[in-house]
A and B are shown apart, each in its own frame.
Chain A
Amino acid sequence: MKKCSKVIHSRIVSPCNGSGKCRVSRVKFMARVVFKHAFHLNLKGNLWDCVAAMKAAVLIQRWYRRYIARLEMRRRYTWNIFQSIEYAGEQDQLQLSSFFSFMLDNFTQLNGNGPDLISQLLDPLVDPWLDRETCYNQIHVPESYTGPRLSFPLSVSDTSALLSAFKEQQTLHARYALQLLYETKKLLKQMPNIIHLSTSYIKDITICGDLHGRLDDLLLIFYKNGLPSADTPYVFNGDFVDRGKKSMEVVILLFAYLLLYPDSMHLNRGNHEDHIMNLRYGFTKEVMQKYKTHGHEMLKLFQDIFSLLPVATVIDGKILIVHGGISDQTDLDFLSSIERHKVKSALRFPRHSVGQLDIGQSCRQAKRTRSTDASRPSSSRSQSKNQGTPSLRNRRCGLSRKDSAASNSSSSSSSSSSSLCSPRTPSCLSPRPCPSSPGMPYTINVLQVPFLDSLSSVPAPSPAQHEREWKQIVDILWSDPKTQEGCSPNTFRGGGCYFGPDVTQRLLLRHGLQLLIRSHECKQEGYELCHGGQVITIFSASNYYEEGSNRGAYVKLGRELVPRFYQYQVSRSTRKLTLTQRVRAAEGSALRALKEKLFAHRCELMAGFLQCDQNNTGSVSVSEWAQVLESVLRLDLPWRTLRPHLTRLAPDGSVDYPSCFEDMGPGNPLPQVAPNLAETLFRYRTDIEIIFNIIDKDHSGLISAEEFRHTWRLFSAHLGVDINDRAIDDLARSIDFNKDGSIDFTEFLEAFRVVHKLDSKDQHLSGKMDGEKC
């Protein structure tokens, strides 16, 4: 086909390719364009210019849309990275929860030096239903304190004072905080498990999702939507604490409004309203840092308060609001009837009676079993976390105590007898004799509990009734919706279920409901609908993963019960960041986190690579590279797309895999520490920190070398890492810098911090334009 004449084509459009199509369509296009503009053509103006402008516009739009699409791609994989790492972290947490439980139960008695944080936390002698002694009245508030001085019952001036104070970064004095918590607990005790609301007397109800300690988001919601009042009712759907730095301020405000407007302010419990989760995800630490003297007492109160929070809210009998979701077993009538405060934590079975308890007895037993254990050398086992080995099972078995469940004495004679490896329900409840282990003079009733892919033995806990209650609550707080039908255990999180549209449908029908509103999952736009519109996820912490990662949202319901969504995003800078800058910042952060993951599994990864690269050439194909990463890290990410950010290519197009680890290096390497050990320490840094905080009773920042040695031995045995005693001793000695038998664990942790060698390059946010990898 001959090329058409240049008259048709302006100088802007690409030259004709001779296909013949262009002529006809372009003539049509131009005719339309000219016609459209004929009536407002400046007759003095140039018709040609007009047409040229049209074409120019199309071109620019094409170009710009493409640019934005590339950004969108980057934003998506950044999101994937954050989410995968978050969930993988939660898995870690749950894997270790049994270890934490064990630590909590046993380690506190190691020194026997009087009450400490943990034994106070787990004080089984005091029924949380009873009032704890709170002597807030006797706490002296100095004249120099300029923060809010609350007076109870609270009034609007108190809440205003709190708002102003928190905006000015002030901290509420412990005396008032304690009284606030005490009053909140009293109020919550009177509330039912499920709150029923009606829209008949009010205009709109506002429902907010996870806040996770983000005070700015809460203030923004109050600003946009109004402060809570009789005319502005709110439901906050759980997860007020953890992760963010202002959890204390967030809960104080929420509780203050709860006390002020108990009929208009409603709080649901979330899975982070749980003292064990708080240990790992930051709330415990925040409280202890902000309230050094009274933090202990506050944490005790929080533990009670959290377990006393209602678990669900129902509006007009039609809309169900819970934090996580539902399962095929969820029964709202049953849920209304149980004693919710008995389920303290998803990671522990409920304590059902507190009568006869002999702490001294369990303490002695603990010491005996522990000394038995200590003499047993750590056996080597596979690296894979998924395998429970026989010796591990024996050990766990050996550490449990005789369960006198026959009598009504509390199973909390040892809480480890009632602890689970994960919130998952044990599949088998029939008692079995424990495999015999040295040092155990009696048989124990045990459960075979699913722990990831294998079974672990845990002594038989409370009777079936309590198990059912516990499961109902855990399902409500931990479940996630999925697109496929059916209901399956939520292996991602290790607790609750994945529930499909059929499960939703059935539950809604059964109880005459029309909508389920839940939170628990971070969503790009702050909210998301699924299950054909029957489930709404609402998430109120904007920039959750990183500045610019997502919006927050809240939903409003009027009398007609049609949801309306409102989105927002908190911005730190005075100038609005462009999409490019936001994506770039978030991407940088995600890639750093991912590189740390790679570094933390370096040994395993190198082993995997070398398997594909028998001749040790230093390179493997892209497919092999992706495969190794996928199998070792178990993160479902688009590895090929990420490849340019993570590693270099060799000249022949294959992957130069050692370059994966080039960017990272240890902070202050301890020469005596083998790379294997260093890597493990790096990987579990957060958890080790928590454990040290548990051991360090007087918050001095020091633990004894003996404690360190012992902890590490247990920890590594639990992880299945092969570390011999000698290596641990060497490590302890090398860390004990001043040779006085005590270890500054902050310094220790610093040593295992990983440094990003290209830090300065990563952080620079230059200008608005992103010239590089668009």
Chain B
Amino acid sequence: MCTRRSERLSTRSTTRPTAPWTSGELVRRQAAQEIGTIIYSLGCFPSQKDLHDFIAKVEEDHTGYIHLDKFLPAMTKVLQEHKFPPISEDLLLQAFEALDKEKKDYLDPEELTKYMTQEGEPFTQEEMEEMLTALADHRNQIHYKDVVSQMTIKPDK
């Protein structure tokens, strides 16, 4: 297929397997994602484990559904207790520095990928790709000092 000078059609294609549409597992995973989005948007920084614990508490008996009247009091409590406090810029920098063994002030994509996909609560391939696109500069290096200062969440107005 010919490419025009200034336009290139780039694609991302994934083949989805035929999903077991009525599987409870699928529904539950979706619930976890949705709840995570909500909790994150409210200013909290839970880990995946924190999220799963929270969901286990509010979920309706393993159906994968979460009722607002259970969610609201639980969430309010989380907010009042500052249970999943934000990560400060300092802490984040230290984290990156810990990964930067050679102390070169940046990370290579391979380095970051290794840690993000093998350690802690590993990223999926999609998450990793997205992170690299977002953080790597034109030299294909991740200068984490710049990244951190630009991406730290400022308090909501």
B80 within 8 A of A: no
Contact flags B1-34 to A (C-beta < 8 A → 1, else 0): 1101011111111111111011000000000000
Count contacts on B: residues with CB < 8 A to the other chain: 61
CB distance from B106 to the nearest CB of A (A): 15
Minimum CB–CB distance from B126 to chain A (whole Å) comes to 10
**B36 nearest in chain A by CB position:** A69
CB distance B47 to A58 under 8 Å?
Answer: yes
Shortest B112–chain A CB gap in Å is 9
Q: Which of A466-474, A566-574, A713-721 contacts B (4 or more CB under 8 A)?
A: A566-574
Q: Assuming A54-B120, A57-B116, A70-B153, is B87 touching A62 (CB within 8 A)?
A: yes
B91 close to A12 (CB less than 8 A): yes
Per the bound structure, the CA–CA distance linking A578 and B129 in Å amounts to: 10
- Residue A768 contacts which of B8, B123, B134 (CB distance < 8 angstroms)? B134
Q: Are A66 and B1 in contact (CB under 8 A)?
A: no
Q: State A52–B92 Cα separation when bound (angstroms).
A: 13
- Interface: A47 (CB within 8 A): no
| Chain B residue, CB-CB nearest to A579 | B130
Q: Could you tell me if B15 and A769 are in contact, using CB atoms closer than 8 angstroms?
A: no
Report whether A567 and B8 are in contact in the complex, using a CB–CB cutoff of 8 Å: no
Chain B facing A: main interface SS: loop
> For this complex, into which size category does the number of interface residues on chain A fall?
35 or more
Main secondary structure of the interface of A (DSSP, over half): helix
Among the stretches B55-63, B67-75, B94-102, the one at the interface with A is: B94-102
Select one of B16, B135, B154 contacting A567, CB under 8 A.
B16
Across the interface, A578 reaches (CB within 8 A) one of B8, B39, B130, B147, namely B130
A219 within 8 A of B: yes
Are B37 and A69 closer than 8 Å at their CB atoms? yes
B41 within 8 A of A: yes
Q: Which one, A119-127, A250-258, A276-284, A557-565, is touching chain B?
A: A557-565
Assess A579 versus B16: contact at CB under 8 Å? Given A67-B153, A533-B21.
no
Pair B123/A61 contact, Cβ less than 8 Å: yes
Residues of chain A within 8 A of B101, CB atoms compared: 49
Q: Which of A1-54 contact B (CB under 8 A)?
A: 11-12, 14, 49, 52-54
Residues of chain B within 8 A (CB-CB) of A55 are 95, 98, 120
A566 and B147 contact, Cβ closer than 8 Å, known pairs A61-B116, A578-B130: no
Q: Tell me if A292 is interfacial: C-beta within 8 Å of chain B.
A: no
**Chain B residues numbered 81-111 whose CB sits less than 8 Å from any CB in chain A:** 85, 87, 91-92, 94-96, 98-99, 101
Interface residue A390 (Cβ < 8 Å from any Cβ of B):
no
CB distance from B75 to the nearest CB of A (A): 15
- Evaluate contact between B11 and A566: CB separation under 8 angstroms: no
Bitwise interface map of A from 564 to 596 toward B, beta carbon under 8 Å scored 1, else 0: 111111111010101110000000000000000
Could you list 7 A-B pairs, sorted by A, with CB under 8 Å? A57-B115, A57-B120, A61-B121, A65-B40, A70-B153, A576-B133, A769-B151
**Residues in chain B within 8 A of chain A (CB atoms):** 1-2, 4, 6-19, 21-22, 36-37, 39-41, 44-48, 85, 87, 91-92, 94-96, 98-99, 101, 115-116, 119-123, 127, 130-131, 133-135, 146-147, 149-151, 153-154, 156-157
In the A-B complex, the 8 residue pairs with the smallest Cβ-Cβ separation, listed nearest first, are A69-B40, A533-B21, A58-B120, A57-B119, A57-B120, A769-B150, A56-B98, A56-B95
A sample of 17 more A-B contacts (CB under 8 A), given A768-B134, A768-B135, is A53-B98, A56-B95, A56-B115, A61-B122, A62-B87, A66-B45, A73-B37, A223-B1, A529-B21, A562-B18, A564-B15, A566-B13, A568-B12, A579-B130, A579-B134, A769-B151, A771-B149
